[in-house]
Chain A
Amino acid sequence: MDCGLLESDWKIKGKGAVVLDGRLRIDFSAPLEDLCSPNAQAFAASDTETPQQSLVALLCRPDLPQRHHFSSWLAERAIDGLLKVHHSGVIEIEGGFRRYMIMDRAAGGRVMDMSVRNKGIPEPIVTERMLPVLIDILDSLDRHSMTHRRIRPENLFYLDKDRQIVVLGEGCTEPPGYSQSAAYEPVERSMAHPIGRGEGGNTDDLYALGVTLIMLLKGHDPVAGKSDRQIHEMKMTKGSFVTLVCDHRLTGPTEKLLRGLLCDDVAERWTMVDTQGWSWGSARSLRHKPAAVRARRPLKIGGEDIFYDRVAAWKIQSLGDAGTEFIKQGGLVTWIRQSLDDEARADFVSDAIAQAKTANVQANDLLVTRVCGALDALGPVRYHGLAICSDGFGAATAAALGTGDMALQGTLTDLFKSNYLAGWEASRKMPKEKTDHNVNYAQLTGWMENSAPGFGLERCLYELNQSTPCLSPLIISFGALDLGSVLQCINAAIVDASEAVEVFDRHVAAFVAARSEDAARLVPALSVKSGNPAERSLTILGLFGAMQDASDCGALINLGNRLESRLQPILELYESRTRRKHLSEQARLYSAVGDLSGMFRVVGDRKLRRQDSEECRLAAAEYAELSKQMKALESGSKNITRELRVSGYKAATVMGALVLAVSLWFSVSTGL
């Protein structure tokens, strides 16, 4: 996947200034290099309503998804020690749309620049002045089930010019952990692709805090210049604590803290309760426990000798499609059985290989994924060269669709369709409370198997990212984050859009299905491939109505007028012309006040449609009967039908009988 643009490719060469909402001013001619984030440019900003407030505007990279749920959360409240987000949105600049965030400006600059070798900060200053602030921040985040995921020395700032107040910088301009080097991430997350490291939990933030404390104390990065693989192996061999602390002298309490925070055993790693307990003087001690199993003999993968099971998984995944052939060669099973001394895993891998060899396409496709899952059960899911943590699929999908990366879209589509994740999730019993979604992975397969609007990868995107903006081309520039905003943005955008523009595209359909249960129930009606276009239009009107009801976003007059102009096919679903006219007049009244829900209630009344259909059937029957009668009448005037002839003879017989009676009476009375 390609999320590695050069800085020159995404950074703007800003000129001039813009004023947003009539009060917020961003001065693009005043870049603030010392406040830039790895994936966001910083510019001077000001608010005309509070001119004394010092602000900075961060202009995000266009090809990366941002953590909107975190920035929205920060915009709603002030957390001591954490830079507040005052405003965020999307602006058009240099021919593209960029998300910006206006935040408090740290006047004292960064605490430490890690690009140079610094003198370490004395331990008392770190543990007594900085650490309490950071623990309080993480405690606040933990209480709201939030994570920061970008804790490191370069992201610590002094809020004041006197450099006395330490604050933690932003963590919402990039996917979680995206720009963190392997040193700051626990082993199980650092082996994932940066885009898919996942939201993680508070222990991941605490791990990064531990690494940050070491860097501040030492003044430099002890693993600088080492590759990610070397860092992984060092952490697995010696443990994270020894790898990072090396020979640095620490006081007993600080060593205890760092051993707890940097524990490589996920179950044993210190939590917020343990960390707060330490600050109050009581905490449990931990012994070093290796993060991976070391083999007696190395396994040669891609020309390298590999000793650890987790590193082997990482290396096999990095081989890409060649990984499948490597596994099938059989050396891996022997290595697991003999060098790792693990019969169970060897049997599992052997079974997976046997299934892949029986012309089972899916088993072959998932061979690397299954084997890597066996070698590194706590690590990320590895599929076709991609490694993504369980809670990182949302960000990966957002990046794939946001940037139009077809290769990544294809890989994720294949993985979601395979239904592997559902079994993997069940076997690992993953906790859901820390993720940004509540998606059952089996649902992903169901959504992917339906190619209709409201399903597919777009649906997965909005289900896995509850706070991602709607990426519909019509409203992408608005950055709409919720149902109400989407409707209001469509309402505003269609004024300039031509009649041919599809208002309800795949992104809007998927977005509303993911955000509204009522809408999700209506969306399958769009799936009918050979369906009546009028029924589809009616469903779309119903979806807009459900969205309006669910969001309470007010009148949508432009959208109402657009939909009213396209009402004719829907009205033609009714056969009665009088009823059509009546419904059209009623719908017009609702569209005039922008009430889409009312419009749908008028023209989408199922009971009325059934009544109309029944009345039409009766009318057709009556017409046919009348035609029959008229045909009989018309034919009777031209030809003597059998019926007429019979009737005539009857009349003639009656007349004959009368004449006979008169004749008899005459004969008798005259005495003949």
Chain B
Amino acid sequence: MSAVIATIAFILFGMAPTLVSFFVERRPGNSSSTCVLLFNLAGLIPVLGLAWSGPNTGGTGTLGDMLNWLIIYGAAATGVIVAWASPHFVALFSQIFSGSRISKIKARQKELYDEWGTKVID
């Protein structure tokens, strides 16, 4: 019985970051909330496992272990950080690979201008 109580408590309080994230973001489709949800769950599942692992070590006793809350909230925080950083990483990679493409475009445009003059710009 104590495991059930612990599970409900962990879900209610442990998934609070995800709830907050969905409440704040309110966007349809792909958003950072999904990422936060997945990381939050990744942190919650091992802790729920501990709650159900036995009468001596599990149950409501796990609720008092601060490490469990750290795992849950730490995973959620990691999800927030990853969600925030990933667009910047994508932009960075995109820039790295687009540099040569811009050079090629500029070279072709110069060729066209040299051949056709201002007519191609008009």
Question: What's the Cα separation between A169 and B11 when bound, in Å?
Answer: 135
Residues 13-48 of chain B, each 1 if its beta carbon lies under 8 Å from chain A, else 0? 000000000000000011110111111011101100
* Those of B62-97 within 8 Å (CB) of chain A: 75, 79, 82-83, 85-91, 94-95
A649 vs B31: C-alpha distance in the bound complex, in angstroms?
6
Q: Is the CB of A667 within 8 A of B38?
A: no
B61 is an interface residue with CB less than 8 A from chain A:
no
B45 touches A637 (CB 8 A): no
Residues of A within 8 A of B75 (CB): 659
B17 → chain A, closest Cβ, in Å? 13
Q: Nearest chain B CB to A554's CB is how many angstroms away?
A: 39
Can you offer 22 A-B residue contacts whose CB atoms are under 8 A? A576-B115, A619-B119, A619-B120, A620-B120, A622-B108, A623-B120, A626-B112, A627-B109, A629-B105, A637-B98, A640-B91, A646-B30, A648-B89, A649-B35, A652-B32, A652-B79, A656-B35, A656-B36, A656-B79, A659-B42, A660-B38, A672-B52
Other-chain residue from B35, B86, B102, B116 in contact with A575 (beta carbon distance below 8 A):
B116
Interfacial residues, chain B to chain A (CB-CB below 8 A): 29-32, 34-39, 41-43, 45-46, 49-50, 52-53, 75, 79, 82-83, 85-91, 94-95, 98, 101-102, 105-106, 108-109, 112-117, 119-122
* A657 and B86 contacting across the interface, CB-CB below 8 Å: no
Determine whether the beta carbon of B42 is less than 8 Å from that of A656. yes
Neighbouring A residues of B49 by C-beta, 8 Å: 667, 670, 672
The chain B residue with its CB closest to the CB of A666 is: B46
Cβ contacts under 8 Å, B101 to chain A: 629, 633
**Cβ-closest 6 pairs across A and B:** A672-B49, A656-B38, A648-B87, A648-B86, A663-B42, A652-B86
Cross-chain contact A652 with B46 (CB below 8 angstroms): no
Q: Which residue of A lies closest to B106 (CB)?
A: A630
The residues of A that contact B91 with a CB separation of less than 8 Å are: 636-637, 640, 644, 648
**Contact, CB under 8 Å: B53 / A672:** yes
- A578, B90: Cα distance in complex, Å: 43
Interface residue? A645 (CB, 8 A) = yes
A630 touches B87 (CB 8 A): no
In angstroms, Cα B32 to Cα A626, docked, is 33
Give A residues with C-beta under 8 Å from B: 575-578, 616, 619-620, 622-623, 626-627, 629-630, 633-634, 636-637, 640, 644-653, 655-657, 659-660, 662-664, 666-667, 670-672
Central interface residue in A645, A652, A667, by most chain B CB within 10 Å: A652
The complex places the Cα of A47 from the Cα of B116 at a distance, in Å, of 64
State whether A657 touches B38 (Cβ < 8 A). Answer: yes
Say whether B39 contacts A659, CB under 8 Å.
yes
Q: Which residues of B are found within 8 Å of A660, using beta-carbon distances?
A: 38-39, 41-42, 45
A656 and B77 CA atoms in complex are apart in Å by 12
Contacts of B121 in A (CB 8 A): 620, 623
Given contacts A577-B116, A648-B86, 18 further A-B contacts (CB under 8 A): A575-B117, A620-B116, A627-B109, A633-B105, A650-B30, A652-B34, A652-B79, A652-B85, A652-B86, A653-B30, A655-B86, A656-B37, A656-B39, A656-B42, A656-B82, A662-B42, A667-B45, A670-B49
